[in-house]
Amino acid sequence: MESMLYLSAEPEARQAKYVENNNVDFILSVGNGRSLVRNSVRLNGRLNITKDGTNDSTGDVYLDFRIGTHGLISSIQTTFTGGANPGLKESIQNYGRWCEMTSIATIQEDDYNNALMQCELRAPNELCSSVLSKGIATLSTNPQDQNMDFSCKPLFALNKMMGDHLPYEKSGDIRVTFDLARNMSALMGPNKGSQSTYELFDLHVSYQSVPTMGNPMDAQIAMRSVYNVKQAVLSGSANIVAVCPNRADAVSCSFQRQDRENVNVFNNYACEQVPGIKNLQFLFNDSTNKFVTYEQNDLNAMLKGYVDSFENTGHQQVSLDTLRNNAGFGVGQEFSGFVDLSNQRFSVQMVSEVNNTRPMNIFLYFHTMISA
């Protein structure tokens, strides 16, 4: 512990503030003879939300309470510049929705009162999130609101490591790119409009390093990741086909009406229920090239499959209340082991009451594994 170092990296292209659609690059470098401490990477900064591009939010425009500042990120790319296998290691698209799904399936409402959640500006409900969006009032004779500071631990490969710490010799400098979400995606609330914005200040990434023990090339590291596919559901008898370039041991899916994607008022990350869903099948070939079908015929089985696809922790928000609010529905399936899906088609067959007048998007997230 005496040799642990706490490090910080600023963006490659520093700006006074960062706004929607900005790409923010960081270089993480621990140096020869040292290792990146697994699961120690955090994105830090200050946040200001405006309701009309000028005036600060008065509580009517805010972040999704379940994911807080995670919703400000649309995608994350992680690239190793050295080691035996340099190159792009991970690219998570539709990152905010992935965090929303993870939150629903692995976190209970009371868990949001934990300081680990609050520093990410998560909250127990929308009311608390709306209060946070106003900023912090200073204690003075002339009170003024200050921007909220935050420390967010992204749900990506470097924070989902197992085994040894990551030696510099196996990764080289690590480039992490955060693509910031559109205002319409990141924000929600009754008065969210086309002029509502968010602004980020003083962005930096913090991480830790320790001396490498033994031969760095002998370190055994595995990192969990996800691969996202987005498709359209246009009819009541839908066959969604996807290809995942990696080995996966589960798939999790959520849905959204197409006419509610990136529009005023609606939460862009809401996991909406599929109207009249009756039957669901997941079809693929397993590791022995045997055709496998998983079938689910009722809501209970579908919701259980969804929670199990995240490795059921006993903490989740999949309940009648979230279904009534049309905000906590998902489907999924845990496989019997890792399956190579790179050379085959993965199919989801669904019978529901969806039609072409109100089509839906389906977001599939395959749970994969990366080796360093």
Assess whether pLDDT exceeds 90 at residue 56.
no
Alpha carbon distance 97, 271 (integer Å): 8
Q: Based on the number of CB atoms within 10 Å of its own CB, is 64 exposed (0-12), middle (13-18) or buried (19 or more)?
A: buried
Interval 1-30: pLDDT, tens: 558 999 999 999 999 999 999 999 999 999
Alpha carbon distance 238, 197 (integer Å): 37
The model's pTM? 0.93
Instruction: Please state the rounded mean pLDDT for residues 119-134.
Output: 92
Interval 264-313: pLDDT, tens: 888 999 999 999 999 999 998 876 667 889 999 988 899 889 989 997 65
Per-domain boundaries in the chain: 5-218, 221-371
- Main-chain dihedrals φ then ψ at residue 146, nearest 5 degrees: -105, 155
- 62 close to 187: Cβ distance less than 8 angstroms: yes
Interval 225-246: pLDDT, tens: 999 999 999 999 999 999 999 9
Residue 333 is predicted with a pLDDT of: 94
Residue 84 is predicted with a pLDDT of: 83
Per-residue confidence band for 323, with pLDDT thresholds at 50, 70 and 90 = low
Q: What is the mean pLDDT of the chain?
A: 91
Residue 135 is predicted with a pLDDT of: 85
Return the CATH architecture of domain 5-218.
Distorted Sandwich (2.70)
Assess whether pLDDT exceeds 90 at residue 197.
yes
Residue 299 is predicted with a pLDDT of: 87
Assess whether pLDDT exceeds 80 at residue 139.
no
Return the CATH architecture of domain 221-371.
Sandwich (2.60)
Residue 55 is predicted with a pLDDT of: 86
Which residues partner with 69 through β-bridges? none
Residue 326 is predicted with a pLDDT of: 57
Alpha carbon distance 63, 76 (integer Å): 19
Interval 61-87: pLDDT, tens: 999 999 999 999 999 999 999 988 899
Alpha carbon distance 137, 139 (integer Å): 7
Contacts of 71 (CB under 8 A, 6+ apart): 63, 64, 96, 99, 100, 181, 185, 186, 269
Alpha carbon distance 280, 282 (integer Å): 7
Interval 199-227: pLDDT, tens: 999 999 999 999 999 899 999 999 999 99
